[in-house]
Amino acid sequence: MNTYRKGFFMFNSMRSVIFNTILLVILLSCSKQDGTTPTPDLPANLKSLKLEHPRLFLTDEKLNQLKELRKTDAVLDKYINTVIATSNSLVTKPMLTRMLIGPRLLDVSRELPKRTTHLAMAYSFTADKYI
Amino acid sequence: MFNSIKPKLLFILLVLWGVLPKILFAQTPKMYFSDTSVANRPFAKDPYVIFFKNQYWMYYTIPDEFKKVLHIGIATSIDLNNWEKIGDIFGEKGTVEANGICAPSALIKDGVLHLFYQTYGNAKLDAICHAFSKNGIDFERDPTNPIFRPKISDWSCGRAIDAEVIEYKNQYFLYYATRDPSYKIQQQGVATAPINSNFDRNSWSEIPNMPMLKPELDWELKCIEAASCIKKGKYLYMFYAGGYNNEPQQIGVAKSKDGIHWQRISNDPFLKNGKKGTWNESESGHPNILKAENGKYYLFFQGNNDKGKTWYLSNVEIGWNKNGPFLKN
């Protein structure tokens, strides 16, 4: 029983670490490049790296494509609207805190990426700085 | 012993019974209106209230739910505290209004309600537009829209927002806010039109030597905007917003005899943002002064307690003495 429980906690904490790492990568890839940041001296194999952010998953180019596409694609428009509607309700909620339920933090760990992705996506489409 | 304490206890309980509800519900003012068209996100800004066709009409700013394009909401009331939303005015597609409209003001001329409002989302190109209506809901656009923007000059970037049009000294005054050429300082300008004007673009003449009022006091920070004027005695009084949204924005008052040269009545805000924990702790801004049909004066304004995630509208009654307006209660 104790072994199972120990394993369960280890699994949870590992999952939390992995999750936070992924989130960090997403957030770093989404951060806007400051215009004053000096161009890094990149090694040869990274010369083709896109300097502007967001860089990895949702580039400005893709965002603009989606903005255009939603005008004619009703299903896409519905998806985007659902994300914005969810964000409207998230923005007035209290900030998340590190609140343990017994030994667990899973609720908060799940809620954080949900909020981050929804709010980031909604901001990209509305420029509403409060979502 | 108990007999002597009992009446005292009873008295204390009765006092608490009367006072407690006031303490508990003191946070919410009598008028606490917001537009709930956007689910979970109450939002209403820039109120303008006018009496028309036997009831009060309030025009205000709201965003649409999914694209956040601003437009104008319409609500009506008979008591100035309880409001019912009855319509929307959306910016016309394919015109200067396409990116949004907001911050309305209104006046009645010959039984017609004239609405003055600004475009939004065009940065330095935002300007004042005009529309008119016989029923308060359906508006016909002025074909010369936008009707006003100041010339680009050493004091203005050419943008015009927050229109207020008032009849004074046998002409119409159009008060507007504009940014300086660096787009950092918000300040007040004014244009005039003849009394027989139809408010179109050709009606308005810029008054030289602007800005008429610019931020100078500490609490005004880098912004004076949202002028709302009313004639009282030999003066025109201007209620204005100082500070950008949630810095906090607060409300000041200035007075003028000619509508062009202004003198502040105090170095302190007339209406401050609320104390911590109150509904308007982030701001008491964008004023609109109204003389109601019962002869009382009400100052409408916007506020919130979350730095602008939500927005509510409220009012306070004001009185007048030899120094000008004062807050009642």
Q: What is the pLDDT of residue B28?
A: 85
Average pLDDT over every residue of B145-161: 98
Distance CA B292, CA B123 (A): 35
ipTM over 0.85: no
Distance CA A125, CA A116 (A): 14
Distance CA B305, CA B25 (A): 16
Which of A76, A79, A126, A131 to mutate to probe the B interface, most B CBs <10 Å? A126
CB contact under 8 A, A88 and B68: no
Average pLDDT over every residue of A109-119: 95
Out of A81, A89, A127, name the one closest to residue B66 (CB).
A81
Confidence of residue A8 (pLDDT cuts 50, 70, 90): very low
Chain A residue with CA closest to B310: the answer is A92
CB contact under 8 A, B39 and A85: yes
CB contact under 8 A, A127 and B68: yes
The amino acid at B310: T
Q: What is the pLDDT of residue B93?
A: 95
CB contact under 8 A, A89 and B39: yes
DSSP class of A45: G
The answer to whether B138 and B90 are in contact (CB under 8 A) is: no
Contacts of A128 in chain B (CB under 8 A): 63, 68
With 50 as the cut, is the pLDDT of residue B153 above it? yes
Q: What's the length of chain B? A: 329
Distance CA B273, CA B287 (A): 12
3-state secondary structure of A121: helix
Out of B67, B307, B310, name the one closest to residue A126 (CB).
B67
What is the number of other CB atoms lying within 10 angstroms of the CB of residue B267? 11
Distances (CA, A) of A2 to A9, A11, A102, A103, B325: 11, 14, 16, 15, 74
Confidence of residue A34 (pLDDT cuts 50, 70, 90): very low
Out of A89, A126, A130, name the one closest to residue B40 (CB).
A89
Confidence of residue A14 (pLDDT cuts 50, 70, 90): low
Distance CA B129, CA B45 (A): 18
Provide the shortest C-alpha distance from residue A85 to chain B (in Å).
7
DSSP class of A44: G
Out of B66, B306, B309, name the one closest to residue A84 (CB).
B66
Contacts of A84 in chain B (CB under 8 A): 65-66
With 50 as the cut, is the pLDDT of residue A29 above it? no
Contacts of A89 in chain B (CB under 8 A): 39-41
Distance CA B286, CA B315 (A): 11
Determine if the pTM surpasses 0.90: no
User: How far is CA A128 from its chain centroid?
Assistant: 17
CB contact under 8 A, A91 and B309: yes
Tally of CA atoms within 13 A in the half-sphere of B142 that contains its CB:
23
Size of interface A-B (CB pairs under 8 A): 33
Distance CA B167, CA B102 (A): 22
Contacts of A127 in chain B (CB under 8 A): 68
Q: What is the pLDDT of residue B6?
A: 67
Distance CA B225, CA B176 (A): 7
Q: Mean of the per-residue pLDDT values for chain B?
A: 94
The amino acid at B200: D
Out of B65, B67, B308, name the one closest to residue A130 (CB).
B308
Nearest to B303 by CA among B253, B254, B226, B250: B250
